Amino acid sequence: MASGFFALLDDIAALMDDVVVMSKITTKKTAGILGDDLAVNAEKASGFVSSRELPVLWAITKGSFINKLIILPVAFLLSAFLPVAVTVILVLGGFYLAYEGAEKIYEYLVPHAHEKTAQLKEELTEEEVLEAEKSKIKSAILTDFILSVEIVIIALGTVVGRDLLFQVLVVSIVAIIATIGVYGIVALIVRMDDFGLKLIALSDDGKGVLASIGRFFVNALPWVIKSLGVIGTIALLLVAGGIFVHNIEFLHHFLETIPGMLRDFIVGLAFGALVLGLVVGVKWIVSKVKKA
């Protein structure tokens, strides 16, 4: 009886060793998408009043965990019984990411009239601030959902053919690491200026090494946020392009002579522009119908 118990413990230990090793391998394979996830979510989590940054980020993080709780069981079931559905969902998510990236470029090049009007307002009411927060949180959680699907699918692909329990453990660990890692780093980024101000306060009359480092963090934050906005937009198009190239057959050999990253960007931008054109066209038709 005792020998059977210790044999069971040995089996569990061996399983956990395999899970740890495979989790490391899988995390490395998803490193690229995690980098894109970080850039996108850092851009989306910025731009709030300082006192609201962490509460908003926590709301997005909770939404990310809920996303994972939804995605993981569905992914395991679809992978086992309807694998083609995984590809379809992945491609549909790619269309959304491409559209969002193309829309950001469009809004930068063609500022909307209502945006200019909004800039003229000196202050927003508390209700308007909360409404803007809710809107941005929803957008961030939706984007996180699509990026999470990509992360889970890549992780799942590394353990295909293994036992279901092994798949569940490895992919779940990667999903948890992705959420904690990405949003932990995002939290550090958005609080750079507060950290810098504390360093300045600890220095002697705002002088010395601590003060210099503090001022560097304070002055660097706006540039970091602006850079993340650009990087996040590029990341959306890269992720979308990668989804299309790897999951749409006629694109497998598209522009093979150029670097893969550039190819993914071109494909993502092309599909994003296509979807954006359709959306703008539909909105224009709807506005004409309403005026008629």
Question: Would you write out the chain's pLDDT as a tens digit for each of its 292 residues?
Answer: 445 544 444 444 554 555 555 556 555 545 555 655 666 666 666 666 666 777 888 888 898 899 989 988 988 888 778 878 877 887 888 898 889 889 888 888 886 554 444 443 446 666 777 787 788 888 888 888 887 887 887 777 667 667 777 778 888 888 888 888 888 888 888 778 788 888 888 877 767 788 888 888 888 877 877 777 787 788 778 888 888 888 888 887 887 788 888 998 999 999 999 999 999 999 889 888 887 6
Pair 199, 217: CB distance under 8 Å: yes
pTM beyond 0.85: the answer is: no
The pLDDT, as a whole number, for residue 45 is: 64
Kindly calculate the radius of gyration of the chain based on its CA atoms and give it in whole angstroms. 23
Contacts for 216 with CB less than 8 Å, ≥ 6 apart: 196
Q: How many CB atoms lie within 10 A of CB 112?
A: 10
Q: Where are the domains of the chain?
A: 19-184+223-291
Please return the burial class of 98, using the count of CB atoms within 10 Å of its CB with bins 0-12, 13-18 and 19+.
buried
What's the number of CA atoms in the CB half-sphere (13 Å) around residue 65? 10
